[in-house]
Amino acid sequence: MRVELDGRVALVTGASRGIGLAIARALAQNGARVMLTARKPPVLAEAAAEISGGLADVDGAGEVAVFAAHAGSPEGAEAAVAATVERFGGLDILVNNAATNPYAGPLIDIDLPRLDKTIEVNVRGPLVWTQAAWRARLREHGGTVLNIASIGGLKHGGPLGAYDMTKAALIYQTRHLATELGPGVRVNAIAPGLVQTDFARYLWTGAGPEADYGWALGRIGQPPDVASAALFLVSDAASWITGEVLVVDGGSLLGPRLAPTPPPTAAG
Ligand SMILES: NC(=O)c1ccc[n+]([C@@H]2O[C@H](COP(=O)([O-])OP(=O)(O)OC[C@H]3O[C@@H](n4cnc5c(N)ncnc54)[C@H](OP(=O)(O)O)[C@@H]3O)[C@@H](O)[C@H]2O)c1
């Protein structure tokens, strides 16, 4: 799928591996100039080198640069946005992808440090990065924001109550900001299901990429499955879509795949 992003400038948080790396690569392959951010400079540098190496053979490809910043930090957000504008001359697309999940267990038992960290990175982070992008560029020039949420924010139950609560808040933030930032800025979210990255390793370790998980499309997701949806939502192909949450989960939210229903017999 080729999407026209020539000349657009994008900033992606959590872009050094997993889903963020796949989104950054897809944006650059489709002509965008992309600033990759995460905390660890050496891993970021490797990610940028890997993307750049793959762009050499792609017609109309963009380019990438890196800036190290903590996704929960307002100062980091402002500095990353400023570095993006300085390096590429603007900012049109913000992808709030970085998140953390330091706790699994009953929500009622979570300790305050881990609760605060989860909220800081997963809810406050996307808001302060969106504020920084809005104030520096988007308010005046327009653009689009994409938040990476989770199907956990659309259901309840299970051991990730604190994380899922922050993703539900991010979905609220997405819909609410869509009403505040339009018509110049579109704000959407993707709610991925289980994707084979480090983040969710404990949920898939031991199962191969083709293992059947029992949901409609069977297999676990791969980062490019989310990246292609991201590409669509930040492009002009989605120019009348805002405040939307696109579930990308192979059908897992629907529940288990059903056995085919036998046709009715002649006797009824
Ligand atoms: N994988 C899944 O099954 C799944 C399912 C639903 C939703 N999601 C969501 O998808 C997004 C990406 O997850 P992923 O699976 O791709 O994770 P991942 O493979 O662990 O990658 C996380 C990225 O975020 C960066 N990061 C982590 N904490 C950060 C912080 N405090 N500040 C700045 N950067 C930070 C990491 O780099 P550094 O460590 O160097 O900072 C890395 O680049 C997250 O929002 C996650 O909630 C994932």
Domains, the chain, with CATH or none: 9-249 (3.40.50.720)
β-pair partners for 191: 247
Rounded distance between C-alpha atoms, residue 99 and residue 118, angstroms:
8
pLDDT at 260: 79
In this structure, are residues 203 and 252 in contact, taking their beta carbons and an 8 Å threshold? no
Q: 260 CA to middle of ligand 1, Å?
A: 37
List the 143-148 sheet strands across, edge first.
63-68, 33-38, 9-13, 93-96, 143-148, 185-192, 245-248
Atom of ligand 1 nearest to the CA of 199: 20
Atom of ligand 1 nearest to the CA of 204: 3
In this structure, are residues 125 and 72 in contact, taking their beta carbons and an 8 Å threshold? yes
> What is the DSSP code (8-state) at residue 235?
S
pLDDT at 268: 55
In this structure, are residues 196 and 209 in contact, taking their beta carbons and an 8 Å threshold? yes
In this structure, are residues 174 and 243 in contact, taking their beta carbons and an 8 Å threshold? yes
Q: 85 CA to middle of ligand 1, Å?
A: 24
Atom of ligand 1 nearest to the CA of 73: 32
Mutate to test the pocket of ligand 1, among 13, 37, 39, 40 (most ligand atoms within 8 A of CB): 39
pLDDT at 98: 98
Q: Is 118 in the pocket of ligand 1 (CB under 6 A)?
A: no
Q: Is 124 in the pocket of ligand 1 (CB under 6 A)?
A: no
Residue length of the chain: 268
Interhelix angle 18-29/223-234, rounded to 10 degrees, is: 50
Atom of ligand 1 nearest to the CA of 15: 43
Walk along the chain (268 residues) and give the pLDDT tens digit of each residue.
Answer: 788 898 899 999 999 999 999 999 999 999 999 999 999 999 999 999 999 999 999 999 999 999 999 999 999 999 999 999 999 999 999 999 999 999 999 999 999 999 999 999 999 999 999 999 999 999 999 999 999 999 999 999 999 999 999 999 999 999 999 999 999 999 999 999 999 999 988 888 777 888 999 999 999 999 999 999 999 999 999 999 999 999 999 999 999 999 877 778 766 5
List residues with catalytic annotation: 163
Q: Is 18 in the pocket of ligand 1 (CB under 6 A)?
A: yes
Q: 5 CA to middle of ligand 1, Å?
A: 24
pLDDT at 265: 79
Rounded distance between C-alpha atoms, residue 96 and residue 154, angstroms:
18
Specify the residue with its C-alpha closest to ligand 1, atom 23.
Answer: 14
HSE, side-chain direction, 13 A CA sphere, residue 26: 24
Q: 19 CA to middle of ligand 1, Å?
A: 7
Specify the residue with its C-alpha closest to ligand 1, atom 47.
Answer: 99
Q: 88 CA to middle of ligand 1, Å?
A: 25
In this structure, are residues 35 and 87 in contact, taking their beta carbons and an 8 Å threshold? yes
